[in-house]
Amino acid sequence: MFAASLSRKSVALWSILNGSSLGWWSLPSTGQSVAVSDSGSLLIGLTDGSVMSLMPSAATKTPSLIKFLGHAEKVNSVALSADGKLALTGSNDMQAILWHSTTGQPIHRWKFDNRVIKVSLNDSGSLSFMSDSTKIAKIMDNLTGEQISQLKINRRKMNFSAVRFSNHDTLLLTGTPAREVRVWDIKTGHSLANWQVQRTKHAQIKGAVVYSVANLDSNQIRTISSNGLVETWPVPVH
């Protein structure tokens, strides 16, 4: 298991098992977003519109490096499939792009009317989530490139800070910068349940960004928020 950390001009890879550093690498321009696969490969979105794939090897300190060229503006969000073979990116150029991460070649391009600010892949890489800076959020079939559903959002604007496919890809779990946790039906795009994470008692912290949302098991959801709280929620019956 791996974790990645991103600073302005470098990226680092860490072991979750013991907290040790597995390496760090300089970036050619400012890093904006990072993702790590189960195999330890890294995907970094940069502010100049480029995307880098780093595949560290135990046999050498020099990782395999592939640069993706396809975005014209800052890359806001990146995602990798569990095996690291597929990559998804979203950019200020109003595009989301699915790539072969081992070659840097695009598979599908999806165009929006606004900046794409959040993307996510399911573990197998068969489904994509992408959302823009307003309230357009879609789930796409990566084999055909066709839309499966669009989330039914009944407000003027909704942004996402955390996204996770769940329950054998039947549910989508999301968190927002405004303390909200929500569960969606992937097939229909309908919201099935929603909650607000607790407010902290600290007077200086009035809000909370939901940083992480995941399943503890098929019946429970765990969230981690910027106010330091870890909470659990029931998976709705649908």
Tell whether 43 and 106 lie within a shared domain.
yes
Q: What is the CATH number of the domain that holds 81?
A: 2.130.10.10
Amino acid 206: pLDDT: 55
Same domain, yes or no: 48 and 129: yes
Task: Give residue-wise pLDDT tens across range 131-184.
Answer: 999 999 999 999 999 999 999 998 889 999 999 999 999 999 999 998 899 999
In the chain, the number of structural domains is: 2
Which tens digits make up the pLDDT trace of 79-89? 999 999 999 99
Among the candidates 108, 140, 158, a domain finishes at 158
Instruction: Out of 112, 141, 158, pick the residue that ends a domain.
Output: 158
Bridge-partner residues for 178, per DSSP? none
What is the 3 state secondary structure string of 76-92? EEEEECCCCCEEEEEEC
Indicate if 149 and 206 belong to the same structural domain.
no
Confidence at residue 201, expressed as pLDDT on a 0 to 100 scale: 64
Q: Which domain holds residue 133?
A: 1-158
User: Are residues 133 and 20 part of one domain?
Assistant: yes
Q: Based on the domain organization, do 85 and 193 belong to the same domain?
A: no
Q: What stretches of 49-126 adopt beta strand conformation (E)?
A: 51-57, 60-68, 75-80, 86-91, 95-100, 105-111, 116-121
79 with 120, same domain: the answer is yes
pTM for this one? Answer: 0.91
Quote the DSSP letter at residue 199. Answer: P
Instruction: Kindly list the distances between the CA atom of residue 121 and the CA atoms of 155, 170, 196, in Å, as whole numbers in the listed order.
Output: 25, 14, 25
Can you list the residues of the chain whose pLDDT is less than 50?
Answer: 59-60, 203
Q: What pLDDT was estimated at residue 120?
A: 98
